[in-house]
């Protein structure tokens, strides 16, 4: 729900300040609506239902994968498309991937969101409503800002959402924020009080190739980005996850693996190789190619994991549902 509108409405109705906390606590526990809030007066519940929509988002489409992954395309009150995904794991984890912007201004060439027109930053309430949608289905315990948009370009609203996530069941230490390498945002995140994880989308070991894949590299070079990540590590003492999407014939050669191993200090970085969920721009590297790439990394002293691919049968890659939806 729009938490600012909620507080203004309660103030207009002359309600005590604790009412907003009561309403939020019910929502954070997965309440389906105002009717469930038994310690809030019935007349006030009716007033809130009429004046403050229970969610800032409308569900436009849902898709459920064979592996249990659930993807939702939402629309904001002003018609902007955004996506979020619930990933269910066999060990019991329930992780949510949320968006921080509608569209993205940074046009990474492998990303479906990058082909969309940038809309706007999301508010903290719109971020939280993605989470609350899934919380109403089942308890959740992990979250990544790895959906549509660059979270560090909307850091005020992202951190305002992060502050409330523990109420929903997601601690800050189980919250990850992914960036393409937005250096001012990395430094601001390092200075914040929240012990979140940082993930860097790197995808190439040298500047020319990275600029081809990710135009933001023309603004912040690999050297500048890694220096910022190392400042984050010094401030938080939390390793940085490096995401590396495997693109067939583009960034998956032997020389790329060697260059990556020489670039990354294993004390500071954990490397995650990502099988590509095709969006039309590239082909994904084969399993054999990914295995060979990983072997070269390990020969040179850098440990890498391969991300478990989820939701391929429902267009789970970021931006795919929104890119196919009518404007």
Q: State the catalytic residues.
A: 83, 318
158: tokens are 């992202």
**222, 213, 215: which is closest to 248 by C-alpha?**
213
In sequence order, which ranges of the chain are alpha helices (DSSP H)? 3-12, 18-28, 42-51, 124-135, 155-168, 183-191, 207-213, 222-236, 254-263, 287-299, 320-324
Rounded CA-CA distance 106/83 in Å is: 17
Rg (CA), the chain: 21
Rounded CA-CA distance 254/209 in Å is: 15
Rounded CA-CA distance 97/71 in Å is: 9
Q: What would you measure as the largest C-alpha separation in the chain, in angstroms?
A: 68
**80, 23, 84, 15: which is closest to 54 by C-alpha?**
23
Rounded CA-CA distance 79/260 in Å is: 41
From start to end of 37-116, where are the E strands? Answer: 57-64, 70-76, 81-88, 94-97, 101-102
185: tokens are 């945002």
**112, 134, 70, 136: which is closest to 281 by C-alpha?**
112
Which residues sit opposite 73 in a β-bridge? 61, 83
Cβ(142)–Cβ(125) below 8 Å:
no
């Amino acid at each position: 729900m729009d938490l600012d509108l909620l507080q203004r409405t309660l103030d207009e109705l002359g309600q005590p300040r604790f009412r907003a906390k009561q309403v939020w606590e019910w929502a954070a526990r997965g309440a389906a609506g105002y009717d469930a809030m038994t310690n809030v007066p019935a007349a006030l519940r009716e007033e809130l239902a009429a004046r403050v929509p229970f969610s800032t988002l409308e569900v436009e489409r849902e898709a459920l994968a064979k592996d249990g992954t659930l993807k939702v395309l939402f629309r904001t009150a002003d018609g902007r498309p955004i996506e979020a995904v619930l990933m269910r794991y066999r060990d019991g984890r329930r992780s949510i991937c949320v968006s921080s912007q509608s569209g993205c201004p940074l046009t990474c060439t492998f990303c479906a969101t990058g082909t969309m027109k940038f809309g706007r930053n999301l508010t903290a309430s719109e971020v939280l409503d993605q989470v609350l949608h899934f919380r109403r289905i089942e308890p959740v315990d992990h979250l990544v800002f790895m959906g549509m948009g660059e979270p560090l370009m909307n850091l005020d609203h992202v951190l305002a959402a992060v502050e409330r996530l523990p109420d929903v069941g997601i601690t800050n230490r189980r919250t990850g924020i992914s960036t393409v390498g937005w250096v001012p945002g990395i430094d601001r995140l390092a200075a914040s009080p929240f012990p979140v994880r940082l993930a860097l989308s790197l995808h190439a070991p040298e500047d020319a190739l990275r600029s081809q894949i990710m135009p933001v590299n023309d603004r912040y070079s690999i050297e500048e980005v890694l220096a910022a990540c190392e400042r984050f590590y010094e401030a938080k003492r939390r390793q940085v996850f490096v995401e590396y999407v495997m693109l067939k014939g583009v960034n998956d050669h032997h020389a790329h693996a060697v260059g990556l191993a020489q670039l990354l200090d294993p004390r500071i970085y954990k490397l995650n190789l990502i099988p590509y969920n095709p969006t039309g721009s590239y082909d994904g590297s084969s399993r054999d190619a990914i295995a060979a790439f990983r072997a070269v990394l390990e020969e040179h002293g850098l440990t890498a994991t391969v991300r478990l691919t989820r939701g391929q049968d429902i267009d789970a890659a970021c931006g795919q549902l929104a890119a196919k939806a009518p404007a």
